[in-house]
Structure 1
Amino acid sequence: MTAGAADIGRHVLVLTAAGSFTVEGRRLTDPVDTAGKLGKLILWSVKRGGLQAIPGCGDQTGAARVWVTGAAVDLLVGAPGDRAGDPATHLGQRLAPLVDDGWELRGGTGPAVVLAHGRGPERVVVEVLAEQQPWLAAGDAAVADDAAELGRRLRCWYAALGVLPGHGGAASGALLADHVMAARTGRRGVVVSTPGLLPAWVSPELRIQPAWSATTDQTEYELRRCDELVRLTQQSPALASAGMLTFGHGQTQALESAAALAAARAQKRPFGLWLVDLPAADELDLPATLPLPHPRMAANQRSQAWVTTEDLDGLAKDVRDGGAGLSVEQLEISEAIVWPQKARILEAWATRLRNARESFADDAPLLELVDAAANDYLAALADPDAWADEDSRHHFQPAWAATIAAHIRQRARRAAMRISREHRTWPLYVDGTSMVYGPSAPLESSAPVDLSDSHTRLGRLVVTSRAELTEKTILGMLLAESTAEVYAVLSAALGPSAVGVDQLQDAAVQSPPPRDTPGRQDADDAEPTLVAPEVAGSGAEEVAKSAPDDAEDRDAAAGAPGRRRRGPVGARAKLGGSPAAVLDAGGLWMADGSKHNLPEPITHVGHVAELAYAHRLGYLLTAKYAEPGQIWITEQACRGFGIDVDLVLEKKPKDRDAALRYCTQDIPFVTQAVADGWKLGGGGDGASARLGIWTRIYPSDQQRKGVWVVLIPGMASSGDSPQEVINVPILIDGQGDEGIAVSAPSTVARRLKLLADAQRFPLKINPGVTAIDLMVQSRPQGTTIEEWRNGPLAPSTFDVPFTINDVERDFNWTRTPTAEELQCRFVHAYDRGGSYPAAIAGLELPIGEPVHHPDGSVFEDPARLAQLVRAPGLVTIVVPEPEDWRVPFLLNPAGLQFTSPKPTTTARLERALKLGYRPTIVEAYSWPNHGRVLKGFYERVRDASVVLDSDDPDAQAARNQSKVIRNVGIGLMGSESNLKGKTGYDPMKRLSIIGKASANIAYRLDQIGQATGRWPVAVEKDTVLYLSDDPDPQRAWPGEAKTWGRGFGQYKHEGSALLSDQVEFLDGRQYKGKPALLDPDEWADMLGSLASPADVKRGS
């Protein structure tokens, strides 16, 4: 038993409709139906030794819990008619009055909220979790209001596992995993803190075994010898596999061709995913009486698939042992994603759960809950939406889920081969972790044939149901024409709960079949019907109009499914899709590289729009809303449609939208579409029909939503200078002396798809519009668009001081090297990846109006000062003199001469205080209402940066486009000329991000300097320069290994030079030497000719 487990009663209260109770079932008060009563109950309980912080690992503690269950949720949150959707989502609103009584209120994990009161040793922190149907009740409505039974289950759970359960099975499994990881912190053992993101093109098989049935001949043969049907199921298969498997963690490595094959051949093969060519099953000596050894394998043709290391091991085994006898050479491995670090990461987690199962062997409800926690958590490893909260993102590990599925699949095949040898029988039906057999009838006076495994370990095959074989069942199976019909017959015989259960358990980790898989098309695989909102026009003014309309909000509020998953679940439409196609003179190019010839000549822009409908273009964001499809038109096609492209290209790219509108006005390509009933957006009432770079085209039938027509030469044309088209890297295919080259149509289509899939949102209109719409789209679940636009993203009316940029700016600083440093030979520049978005991760941003504190002297009180810098704010200070010449001054990044007080953000000031500065505060503005407003936006752009980080030039271009989107979006929030009065305008949000980014850099510089004695010689924005005698920039990096890499907030090599070529720029002024640095590739070419540190010491 975990220390303190028996005394969980000191940490939890249960609220039901009958009142408040201890977990032992002792009634404390009458029902709690107001926020005020709840606040008084919490403080009363604390005074009597209750609701104490829950002990954690080491010095860590967790918040106590008030558990509101059953009908008590209606009392506290409101009757069902007063709210829509899950009552827990409205709990924070109902508890808001407590803020007036001195309570702090913030969001907790999942549906919980956290209340805090007081300071210092008297501080009280309590998590309030509202569950109308508590997970611990296991679906029993009576238990939901039974405080004694809920308390018993809670005590037993905590005693067995050492943590409280969460609001569901996956959440409970995650809490236990975090508890195990926390115990390892500072000790030996792997601590996983980052998600296992995969590149967009890597899709491992996440299904265990798709439904399969024997042929009619085999079925007839098996049924002749039996008189019953038996269903065998693996017992807790995922839990059994998770505890014994090795999983990868840390930074991945991408390997190609020879390197990938060499890694696969290695004696200690790394954990990874491998792109293989699976041979046709007909070429192999496999039993026709079992499913194929991998779901992606085809009978009569080779098929390409990403497989796990566990798959490689399983496929290599002999057929007798369930394998296919395939060597790595036969699999023709061409690419791999590997994790150099690996460990049995879930072993301790699985051991806890196995022990709990033994403890609850005679307690059916709790045994069922333990199994649910294990199964739901492991199934959710591949579901990104299950881990939307930033604190839980590290649980997203699709490669682990695929490995577990492969291990379970191999165990089933091994068992099937054993049964075939021992009992001379083969399965009639296989689905997930279960198999249905017709075992031979036993001899008279003999016991029924037992096909189950004889051992007692988890994962063993056990008989879960039997049924007498009737003529009706035999006839139904022999006449069945599909696997689904076989399933229906077996369901009637064995019971609906006995067959197909694993289909539901596998739903969360199911992956779609390969595009070329033969067979009938199920409803799940059909293209979704795309529904888009009406948008009246085109251009930047549509930012406020182009997001989902109120219909989506109503659906979301009513509980309509809208979560994005990797694979189809039930009959839900798959999110994503094909956002765009590119029209060239020769045809229409799709994202998969295919080209469609045009069936009829295109004479007007309406015909172009019809292509979007014909090819079902659009990008599904939720189950009810899709971004409209896009047709991008090349320069050659524009000329063919009568557009005066030469006139357009005479203008700079920034002026081409106006040029296009001028030269397309009243041309036949446009006027004939209008004559046919098509409508063009963006012109306004009475305006002439014409096209801009982006134009919405609407059909006359009013049944289909408008689509986007995009004219590529308006954005970029071959010969443009790189700087002029810096905002559209997705269109650029290299550059030379004559300017840039525009990418081929198929390339553009593929890049648009890669970008949309990576950030789960397509490019639209321009980077700024895309960014603001993405900020809206990535709002928290349960929040409507109207609530988000009118709340966290409402346009700010606060006017920032005109002197704000004196302090709130990026670093630009150098210093003169010391005599000792001048002995070094090299200068290395390091770039901090995603410096601005990295600052967003945990940053509280302002919402609404600030409170003005005109007298800054009140913040001489340390407690008031600490409270001030914890919230977003703008503080006018007397800037002190810098105290450390070795680093840039955080409160004067450009080294200016100040003669008056200057405003700065609390994000910057907080770090300055930690560095030891105590500036005089003149006045301050503080935002009492704040939150992690851009957390969802940050997660989208971070994920895009990770999954698109590869050597694939198309992925690189899409990654660069995502970088432009995030940078332009952050800048646009502070742009008075472009966004003032519109959704997302808030200069204080942008300034807070800049301040936090600079503070993070200052922290890292100080941390490295204090630890190693090495200090930077120059800093420009997010570029840091250090001197070294080592020509290898990675070895010369003075920071910890975990700070090196290409992730957000990590540092990577940006350029290098000889110190002799840079010393003139290190003069104590602003840094101007970046153009004189050699880029990483140029420097790498020189490394062989440069002296190593050992050579320098020998004087060579």
Structure 2
Amino acid sequence: MSELFDAVDALVSSRSTLPPPAERKRLRQAHGLTLDEVAAALQVRRATVSGWEAGKTEPRPPERDAYARMLKQLAQLYPANAPVPSEDTAVPETPAVPAVPAPSVAEPAKARTEPTADRILEPVSEDTALRPAAVPHPVATTRPTSRRPPARKAAPVGSPAGGVDARFENGPLAVVDVEDGQVLAYCVGGLVLDVPAKSVPALVEWTLSEGRLGQPKLSGPGKGADPLLVLTEAALEHYGLPVTITKEERLAGRIPEGHKVIKQLTRADWKLTKRGFGPWARIYRPAQGSERACVQLCIPSWDALDTRHWANTGQLPPADLARLLGTYAARVMTPRGSTAVTGLELMNALHPPTRASEPDETGKRHSEHNPGSLGKDPVDCAPCEAPDGHPLLADLPRFHHRTPAEVLVEEAYDWARPLTDAECLRPHLVGIDVNMAFAAGANGLTVGLGAPTHVKNPAFDAKLPGAWLVDLSHVDLSRVKVAKDTWVDLDGSLLPSPFTPKGERPEGPAWYATPTVAYAVELGYEVRPIEAYVRYENGRYLDGWYNRLRDAYLATMADLGVGADLSPEEFLRAMDGYRQRDPQLAIVVSAVKATVKGGIGKLRERPRGEGWKPGQPWRALARPTWRPDIRAAVISRTRINMHRKIVKHAAFTGQHPVAVLSDCAVYASDGPSPLDFLPYRDGKPLPGGFKLGVNPGLVKWEGTQSVLWGEGVREQFNAPDLNLARYIKDGTVTDQDTGE
């Protein structure tokens, strides 16, 4: 009889009542249990419990009865109508931050490592310019023994148009890993999926049919982002791909066409883009109607995630890697390649080149130009906007050096001067750095959308984007207008010229972008252009791009404890050590910044590599987004924004910068903090001058060194004009930095 009872008990257990999947997850989270803890108690894998909570699988005896027992007890403790904190939304305690920074000037560390603006803003290829919103979680540099889910995750900011899309319920991306022979896909939010695919073609098929990965479109006429799969080293080995690639393959940007995996894809009717199978491979089939079948791969061990911008992201455990890249995807967009490539793709996603027309007489819709976009066809640049080697310059003599009257040179500042006697008596050199300077330069900027029109002897129009040949050598910085009918006298010898990257006064006619010429008028001087290439079709193309990147940056900084409503003193305290509060979120910040600079740089991408000769076209010229005029306008406005603040500061305080590098300015100061030389009255900054804060266009403390240090390194390298802004962060100067 006991055997019959046992059989009945087993039968009942096999049908143990379970709450719906979403309720299972709620009850676990309500009690503060992790997936790993539940899995350990039931002696199953973490992915198994995750599948139960996602409704993808159901527990079977003997685990089902134990699981039902646990959920029943939890339901008694946490009724469905009782509010409970979720592990996904718990806010960690903010660490105490130290007092206003009083930096040491006696211990130099390493040099300011940001490259010059030209290198940052003009990557030579889509793959070489690769820096990253949410709540703290520590960086793990080694693989953990268990797949513990994140106790907290980032709240997405800037949700894509259309809101939640059931097609993409598992998020924009997954990190594919292999453990004990089982392929697992780590998604955002701690979800882990079992992957049955045994080959790369099967993995692509699974992703599109069952993965439910992707991201909704960012604008009405646009398209959703394709799923992104990040392959770990274990996944590469499992699918027959090399864990690392050779130097030759790295230079080529791809593995050989004859590789067995590429042959597998070909046999399965999958195609690769012209980029081939490289660190950011795209695998697709031709679109059927409006639907497309495409999956993007990211391979960190092939250097897909440039350490200059992504730090150690490629070495993170799968769950952490999915969380970090997922945060970036939610706040910016799903990565499409390097941060530079993604920055450019974000412009396209926010302003798609075409849209569907209204129905014609037959009821059909057609593709038409999307107003406000750059269109689907490239336009020629003006000759003065063309970089050296461009086909427009093919008739120039081979070694001809183009003068300022022949070429538009709008670049960021790299200027310095010797210290005055009075400045040498001050103890400190303090650097301040403009937050998201190039993003701020893009905000509200009117840029050309179409081709240029050449005009002779035009009247200058500050509202008309273009390039202007004009003589600005008469602008005298010793007397400038700082407000309507308000002129001030300055020591112009202590200020950089606003018209050249090196801060030198122009000697005659030169080509300038509209913001530069407009600033000469603002300073109170007449301008008479000789000729111009203007763009009558124009608009504020970059506004949406700026807004999304600004929101991503501010949200991530807020998660790191640096809010937008802090007083100057609070801001300096909050910024002190903010990266250490959550190193992974600090990577997100770096990646957002790199997306700004790299995206602007891609607008004038130079030819890459082998086979190209001056005078021949290169691949980037075929893009509608190859627009050197837009890049020039953004950099021009960014440099002018910096100079305007410098002039306001000099007019009010009599203080002048001793060095300016891109978005960093260095001043001699009586104290080590920016508050020792930035004018504040009742907590309010000088109108139009430098203001401490986290918002784009405001400034933060960059670093402090002693005046003795500055004079010492200049004397050591026999360089009285050595740009100290390059090294102000931590004081290290090397022979390589100075060209010795």
Q: TM (normalized to structure 2)?
A: 0.60
Write the mapping of 1:701-1100 to structure 2, written as runs, cut at 5 A: 705-716=293-304, 725-726=306-307, 729-730=309-310, 732-733=312-313, 742-759=315-332, 761-779=333-351, 786-788=368-370, 792-793=374-375, 795-801=378-384, 803=403, 807-855=409-457, 859=459, 865=460, 868-880=461-473, 882-883=476-477, 884-896=492-504, 900-949=508-557, 950=560, 951-975=581-605, 977=607, 978-1038=619-679, 1041=685, 1043-1063=691-711, 1071-1074=722-725, 1076-1079=727-730
**Aligned equivalents of 1:701 and 1:911: distance in 2?**
49
Using the TM superposition, give the Cα deviation of residue 973 of structure 1 relative to its aligned residue in structure 2, in angstroms: 1.1
CA–CA distance in structure 2, aligned partners of residues 985 and 683 of structure 1: 18
Deviation of the 1:782 alpha carbon: 10
Does 2:239 match 1:641?
A: yes
* Post-superposition offset of 1:650: 3.7
CA gap 1:656/1:1038 in 2 versus in 1, 3 angstroms: farther
8 Å contact from structure 1 (residues 869, 910) kept in 2: yes
SS across alignment from 1:693 = coil
CA displacement at 1:828 relative to structure 2: 0.9
- How many aligned residue pairs are there? 504
1:418-442 deviation line (CA, Å, top 9, x unaligned): xxxxxxxxxxxxxxxxxxxxxxxxx
Classify 1:964/1:828 alpha carbon distance in 2 versus 1 (closer, same or farther; 3 Å): same
**Aligned-partner residue type, residue 283 of structure 2:** I
Q: CA deviation at 1:1074?
A: 4.1
List per-residue Cα deviations over 1:643-664 (Å, max 9, x = no partner). Answer: 3445x144585x1623x235xx
Q: 1:597 to 1:979 in 2, by over 3 A?
A: closer
Q: Once the 2 structures are TM-superposed, how far is the Cα of residue 996 of structure 1 from its aligned partner? A: 0.8
Q: Specify the alignment match of 2:93 in structure 1.
A: 335
How do 1:661-676 residues align onto structure 2 when only pairs under 5 Å count? 661-662=256-257, 665-667=258-260, 669-675=261-267
Structure 2 unmatched ranges of 5 or more: 1-73, 97-149, 152-158, 357-366, 385-401, 478-491, 561-580, 608-618, 733-740
Map residues 167-566 of structure 1 onto 2, 5 A cutoff: 292=81, 297-298=83-84, 303-304=86-87, 334-335=92-93, 564=161
Q: Deviations over 1:710-747 (max 9, x none)?
A: 33322259xxxxxxx356x33624xxxxxxx7333222
Shift in alpha-carbon separation, 1:968–1:904, aligned structure 2, 3 A: same
CA distance in 1, matches of 2:547, 2:649: 28
CA distance in 1, matches of 2:300, 2:600: 25
* In 2, Cα distance between equivalents of 1:598 and 1:918: 70
* TM-aligned CA deviation for residue 975 of structure 1: 2.7
Distance in 2, matches of 1:787 and 1:707, equals 27
In 1, Cα distance between the equivalents of 2:329 and 2:437?
22
Compared with structure 1, are the counterparts of its residues 809 and 692 closer, same or farther at alpha carbon in structure 2 (3 Å cutoff)? closer
TM-fit CA distance, 1:789: 8.4
Helix, strand or coil for the counterpart of 2:334?
Answer: coil
- Aligned in 2, Cα 1:716/1:1059: closer, same or farther, shift over 3 Å? same
Q: State the alpha-carbon separation in 1 of the partners of residues 216 and 670 from structure 2.
A: 54
Contact 1:825/1:1060 (CA < 8 Å) preserved in 2?
yes
Retained in 2: the 8 A contact 1:584–1:634?
yes
Pairwise CA distance, 1:807: 4.8
Q: Are 2:171 and 1:578 aligned?
A: yes
| SS of aligned partner of 1:808 | coil
Q: Distance in 2 between matches of 1:894 and 1:816?
A: 14
The change in CA–CA distance for 1:666 and 1:820 in structure 2 (over 3 A counts) is closer
In structure 2, distance between residues paired with 1:806 and 1:706: 40
| CA distance in 1 between partners of 2:170 and 2:403 (Å) | 47
Q: Which amino acid aligns with 1:730?
A: W
Cα drift, residue 955 of structure 1: 2.4
Partner of 1:389: none
Other-structure match for 1:93: none
What does 1:79-118 align with in structure 2 at a 5 Å threshold?
none
Helix, strand or coil at the partner of 1:1019: strand
Report if aligned partners of 1:620, 1:627 keep a CA contact under 8 Å in 2. Answer: yes
Change (3 A) 1:1003 1:695: same
Match in the other structure for 2:396 = none
Name the CA shift for 1:820/1:282 in 2 (closer, same or farther; >3 Å). farther
SS of 1:588's partner is strand
- Counterpart code for 1:842: G
2:88 and 2:206 map into 1 onto residues whose CA distance is: 35
Q: Are residues 1:631 and 2:224 paired?
A: no
| Superposed displacement of residue 674, structure 1 | 4.2
Amino acid of the structure 2 residue aligned with 1:661: P
- Please, which of 691, 694, 698 is the counterpart of residue 277 of structure 2? 691
Task: Give the % identical residues.
Answer: 21
Q: 2:353, 2:370 within 8 Å by CA — same for their partners in 1?
A: no
SS where residue 176 of structure 2 aligns?
A: strand
Distance 1:615 1:931 in 2: 39
SS of the residue corresponding to residue 940 of structure 1 reads helix
Structure 2 vs 1, CA of residues 758 and 772 (structure 1 numbering), >3 Å: closer, same or farther? same
Return the structure number with greater relative CO, CA threshold 8 A, min gap 6. 2
Q: Is the 8 A contact 2:88 2:189 kept in 1?
A: no
Superposed displacement of residue 1003, structure 1: 0.9
Partners in 1 of 2:206 and 2:713 — Cα distance? 59
Q: Which residue of 2 aligns with 1:602?
A: 198
CA distance in 1, matches of 2:439, 2:530: 30
| Secondary structure of the structure 2 residue equivalent to 1:618 | coil
